[in-house]
Amino acid sequence: MFGLFKRKDKKPALPALTDLNNQPLKEGDLVEALRYNLGQCKLVVEENSYFYQSLENGQKTSWLKMIDASTDTQKVKKIDH
């Protein structure tokens, strides 16, 4: 009946992230952050949002702060291990 009783998802879907070279990123990937002097970071999910957590000092930065305005890609490079 007009969508009044539709079940709504409790968690919105997380966006698909890619690095500077358009390689797909997923939770747990290691990256080299090119901003904020974070160094090597791990991509983590908390409270249904992505964060980059520095392996050197534990600092967390939202994925939104890593977006390059001119290319709309993340300013990180995926580390292959």
CATH topology of domain 17-78: SH3 type barrels. (2.30.30)
Is residue 15 over pLDDT 90? no
Listed by start position, the domains of the chain span: 17-78
Over residues 53-59, mean pLDDT: 94
Whether the predicted pLDDT of 24 surpasses 70: yes
Residue 14 has pLDDT above 90, yes or no: no
48 to each of 13, 35, 51, 73, how far by Cα in Å? 8, 23, 10, 20
pLDDT value at position 2? Answer: 65
More confident: 1 or 10? 10
